[in-house]
Amino acid sequence: MDDPRELPDGRLVCGPHGRVHCFVCCVDYSFMDDIIEGEDDDSFGCEAEATDSHPAAGLLDHKRLRRGTDQAFPTKFVPPSATITPLELFSGRGSHMFVTRYTLRNDAGKALIRTDGACLDNGQQNPKAGWAFWHGLGPSGQLLVASGRLEKKGPFGDESSQTSNRAELRAVIAALRFRFWPGEGFHTLVVATDSEFVVEGSTAWARTWVAHGWVKREGGGVKNKDLWPREALLGEVEQWKDSGTAVEFWKIPREWNIVADAAAKEAAAEEEAPSEWQEYFGINI
């Protein structure tokens, strides 16, 4: 996807077509409506680039994959009770561009995203992995789910294997990079997953790995390092922290995650895995 262009009034449009909401480029820069007065979805022209001092700089930084520097870690989300479900707790409704987000009952700035990864024939000769996340409801109440096959290469060109753990990490990275979430007014993203590997790995184990130079206590390097901290996942956490948005992880039972689970399995069943890392910057609908 080409970089956006900045118009004289400070709004963004897609580079190739000059549109705020472009289905061809799969981009939606309408979040700028909340920042800048005025609106003109059909604006064209002006080749000016966004600058570091401009509010749009956060979006441009977000598009760039950043390797983590071991300076920021996500935290765990602790619900008021162990039996309360995501839809009971996140019963608020945050609307943006005809899309509904699940937000905390008493805090519209805290949004819920559910992620999952799956691998068919995990650990066998020809495994096939896929990922998915559920990020809200569409204008007609339809579930908004993004999904894909796990790529053969990681975000920085490393050859990768098809495993369930890697697919679970990939789902989180895709969800964090899917939208410029601060543009929708969110100060916190709660990523709900049934993967203990993801939750404990990103909030607890990673701190130990950093302290030991990314060598496990029993010896040997940490697997999936390109998706873990110092690489993609905590690089994303650092970027959101710089934009004023925190990331929290919530370990939920698998039966509370059936939408993302089913979509991840469906994606894993696709025949061909992309050879290279794919980006999924999403429009709302």
Query: What pLDDT does 44 receive?
Result: 28
18 against 175, higher pLDDT: 175
* Position 199 in a domain: yes
Instruction: Clarify whether residues 93 and 154 are in a common domain.
Output: yes
List residues bridging with 221 in a β-sheet.
Answer: 215
Query: Do 85 and 19 fall within a single domain?
Result: no
197 within some domain: yes
| 84 shares its domain with 59 | no
Alpha helices by DSSP H, the chain: 57-63, 86-89, 164-178, 196-200, 206-211, 232-242, 258-268
User: Do residues 122 and 141 both lie within one domain?
Assistant: yes
186 and 224, same domain (yes or no): yes
With 80 as the cut, is the pLDDT of residue 212 above it? no
Model pTM? 0.75
Residue 26, pLDDT above cutoff 80: no
In a domain, 33, yes or no: yes
Does residue 279 lie within any of the structural domains?
A: no
The pLDDT, as a whole number, for residue 1 is 42
Q: Are residues 23 and 83 in the same domain?
A: no
Mark 22-44 as b/e (b = at least 16 C-beta within 10 Å). Answer: beebebbbbbbbeeeeeeeeebe
Check whether 164 has a pLDDT greater than 80.
yes
Instruction: Check whether residue 60 and residue 80 sit in a common domain.
Output: no
In a shared domain, residues 49 and 79: no
Higher pLDDT, 27 or 242: 242
Which range is least confidently modeled, 4-8, 216-220, 257-261? 216-220
Mean pLDDT of the chain: 79
Strands 188-193 and 107-120: parallel
**Given this model, what pLDDT does residue 283 score?**
59
- Residue 281 covered by a domain: no
In sequence order, the β-bridge partners of residue 12 are: 6
Note whether residue 280 is domain-resident.
Answer: no
Q: Which of 77, 25, 85 is nearest to 250 (CA)?
A: 77
Q: What percent of the chain has pLDDT over 90?
A: 44
**What is the pLDDT confidence band of residue 51, given thresholds at 50, 70 and 90?**
very low
pLDDT at residue 202 greater than cutoff 60: yes
CB 111 within 8 A of CB 94: yes
Considering the domain architecture, whether residues 93 and 121 belong to the same structural domain is answered as: yes
Q: What is the pLDDT of residues 67-96, one digit of tens each?
A: 666 677 899 999 999 999 999 999 988 777
Residue 47 pLDDT: 29
Domain with residue 252: its CATH number is 3.30.420.10
What contacts 64, CB < 8 A, 6 or more positions away? none
pLDDT tens track for 105-124: 999 999 999 999 999 998 88
How far from the centroid of its chain's Cα atoms is residue 27's Cα? 15
The Cα–Cα gap between 2 and 14 comes to 7
Residues 140 and 203 in one domain: yes
DSSP 244-273: T-EEEEEE--GGG-HHHHHHHHHHHTSS--
Residue range(s) defining the domain that contains residue 157? 75-268
**Tokens 């956006």 map to which residue?**
4
Tally of domains in the chain: 2
The answer to whether residue 136 scores a pLDDT higher than 90 is: yes
φ, ψ for residue 56, nearest 5 deg = -70, -10
